[in-house]
Amino acid sequence: MKLGIWIFIGVVAWLWFNGTRKQQRRAQEKARADAAGAPSPGTAIERMVACAHCGLHVPASDAIVSGIGASFCSEAHRRLHPPA
């Protein structure tokens, strides 16, 4: 019984210690990135545009733009859309 309690206390202490080390490491990495002026991962947001045919929103880099400036989600929708 006593051995089980000590094992339980040891496991809880180990988990707590590892959790605090990970938090400290993340805080140091964030501080380094902030000091360097680099954007943190996942902060780049791309502009979304709506397909002129179906209204589906796609990233601007993936959109197909027609000669009149309309954006489309696919080449098939660009062909289906009547020219203005």
pLDDT at 54: 93
User: pLDDT digit string (tens) for 32-79?
Assistant: 877 776 555 666 788 999 999 999 999 999 999 988 889 999 999 998
Residues with Cβ within 8 Å of 49's Cβ and at least 6 positions away in sequence, in order, are: 57, 58, 59, 60, 63, 71
CA distance 80 to 64: 13
> CB atoms < 10 A from the CB of 72, how many?
23
Q: How far is CA 39 from the centre of its chain?
A: 13
